[in-house]
Amino acid sequence: MRTHVLRFIRQTHLYLGVFIAPAVLFFAFTGVLQTFSFHESARNGSYRPANWIVVLAQIHKKQTSQLPLRKPDSPANHQSAGSDSRKQSAGSASTADRPTHNPLPLKLFFLLVGIGLVTSTFSGLYMSYKYSRNRLVLGFLVLAGILIPIVLTTT
């Protein structure tokens, strides 16, 4: 009885892991891109992301590949932004004496997590093919894990 349950759990783990592996790879990759803000343009215009990075970030965050329309900058927007920044600077005078937070160590940690997820997922896929007798089913599951999100994103 126990061996049947354990075999069922192992088989379920194998098939689910192979099916969701493409999504894990996608979210690990796009998550690292977003952690370092590669999907956002620099405010001073010195960096503009490639369109594919912006689209992947949109899929990651909003589950759609359609990008929102941006409103063109107008002088009125700049004036209201300036008044908002004066309000913020007046309100943040009490926080000026606090030390600033350095996000780089946490960003590097999440980079390491992303690399670990990619490495672990690829090694899991390798082991699933190396030690499985049912490679056709595994190939179908990986293909389904790739195609289903693509179809759902484009419909």
pLDDT at 101: 87
For the question of whether the overall pTM of this predicted structure is more than 0.85, the answer is no
Q: Both tokens of residue 83? A: 């008044």
- For the chain, the domains span 2-66+105-154
What would the mean pLDDT of 78-102 be, rounded to a whole number? 60
pLDDT at 73: 57
Alpha-helix runs per DSSP H in the chain: 2-35, 51-62, 75-91, 104-130, 135-154
